[in-house]
């Protein structure tokens, strides 16, 4: 009971600290919340939800490796680092309804060379029946996802599509150090 209370209290403090960093010059809309059902920290940034949850990551990653896909299909065209942001260019079919995405990080930093973090990218299911090829760039704010920590700049970010059942990431974003 004490562990659960401590975990939830810690997450509430993180939420308060994250929200206090907002200023009126921020151009992207985002919000922070706590998913109390599974103790996830959720940060919404534009049409991308950033989630830190080891259990959810493990479950979705196990499904991915076993060829059980999550969400709607998409293709990652490329990704690049711009300061504290990762820009992920991707394509999917649609055009009639808004589409949302989720990045899930398990909270682990792998220190073997090169040090890296694994991220899962999910195209949340939309009921969009249109078939136009949409290409857009998602922006992931690394400060919102991992915080303003030293390893943020020294790690590679390995991004996996939920439609990729291999051990090789769809795209690797190199460290800036």
- From first to last of its 177 residues, the chain has per-residue pLDDT tens of 555 444 444 444 444 333 333 333 232 333 333 344 444 455 655 678 999 999 999 999 999 999 998 889 999 999 999 999 999 999 999 999 999 999 999 999 999 888 999 999 999 988 899 999 999 999 999 998 888 888 899 999 999 999 999 999 999 999 987
134 within 8 A of 93, measured Cβ to Cβ: yes
For the entire predicted model, the pTM comes to: 0.75
| End-to-end CA separation in angstroms for the chain | 41
104 within 8 A of 51, measured Cβ to Cβ: yes
């Amino acid at each position: 009971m004490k562990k659960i209370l401590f975990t939830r209290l810690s997450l509430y403090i993180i939420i308060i600290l994250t929200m206090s960093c907002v200023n009126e010059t921020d151009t992207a809309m985002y919000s922070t919340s706590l998913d109390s059902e599974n103790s996830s920290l959720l940060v919404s940034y534009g049409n991308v939800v950033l989630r830190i949850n080891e259990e959810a990551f493990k479950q979705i990653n196990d499904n991915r490796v076993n060829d059980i896909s999550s969400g709607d299909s998409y293709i990652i065209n490329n990704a690049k680092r711009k300061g504290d942001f990762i820009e992920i260019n991707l394509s999917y079919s649609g055009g009639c309804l808004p589409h949302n995405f989720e990045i899930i990080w398990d909270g682990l930093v792998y220190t073997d060379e090169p040090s890296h973090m694994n991220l899962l990218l999910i195209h949340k299911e939309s009921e969009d029946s249109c078939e136009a090829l949409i290409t857009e760039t998602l922006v992931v704010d690394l400060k919102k996802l991992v915080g303003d920590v030293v390893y943020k700049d020294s790690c590679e970010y390995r991004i996996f599509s939920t439609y990729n059942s291999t051990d090789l990431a769809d795209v690797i974003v190199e460290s800036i150090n």
